[in-house]
Amino acid sequence: MESVIDDGVKALEKAVNDMDNSFELAIAGYALVLAKSSKVSTVKQKLMTLATEESNTFRKYP
């Protein structure tokens, strides 16, 4: 069973490179956090790049 999960995590890690939708990235990021993947920082950076910032605040929106 572990190999199936590992294969799924590897596929998700590979798919993250082509994702440009904030919702997809957020869901994938959550799954990768749970899997303790090293790709979490990549997902976080991509989400921060897609975020828009409200002037004079620290809020960011996808």
pLDDT of residue 62: 61
Give the dihedral of Cα atoms 16, 22, 23, 28; nearest 10 deg: 20
Q: What six digits make up the tokens of 16?
A: 């993250």
pLDDT of residue 61: 64
CA proximity to 41, closest of 51, 59, 29: 29
Q: Collect all residues with Cβ–Cβ distance below 8 Å to 62 and sequence separation of at least 6.
A: 22, 23, 26, 47, 50, 51
| pLDDT tens by residue, the chain, 62 residues | 689 999 999 999 999 999 999 999 999 999 999 999 999 999 999 998 888 776 666 666 66
Spell out the domain ranges in the chain.
2-61
